Amino acid sequence: MLETILLVVSVLLIAIVLLQSNKATDAGGIITGGNQELFQNMKERGAELFITRATFVLGALFFIISLILFLK
């Protein structure tokens, strides 16, 4: 039962991470000086905020379920 839930959470986590905007590329501009907006305080809104929160929740669930299965 718990293994099935872990599998579903894993697939959802992979999908939600792939949906995120590419922030790593934006941060890479620090070396070349190409990204002027890197240190501006830009708030996430709408779908971006939902995706960020869903990633956090799914990551926490994955960690907790994995820990429970390990200690079982």
pLDDT tens-digit series, residues 1-56: 999 999 999 999 999 999 887 665 555 555 666 555 555 666 777 888 899 999 99
* pTM recorded for the entire structure: 0.71
Task: Report yes or no on 24 lying in a domain.
Answer: no
Q: How far apart are CA 21 and CA 52, in angstroms?
A: 10
Task: Report yes or no on 13 lying in a domain.
Answer: yes
In terms of Cβ atoms closer than 10 Å to its own Cβ (0-12, 13-18, 19+), residue 48 is middle
Task: Report yes or no on 1 lying in a domain.
Answer: yes
Task: Report yes or no on 50 lying in a domain.
Answer: yes
Residue 26's pLDDT is what? Answer: 53
Task: Report yes or no on 33 lying in a domain.
Answer: no
Total structural domains within the chain: 1
Closest to 49 in 3D by CA, of 25, 28, 19, 13: 19
Task: Report yes or no on 11 lying in a domain.
Answer: yes
Domain that holds residue 12: 1-19+44-72
Q: How far apart are CA 9 and CA 3, in angstroms?
A: 10
Helix (H, G, I), strand (E, B) or coil at 22: coil
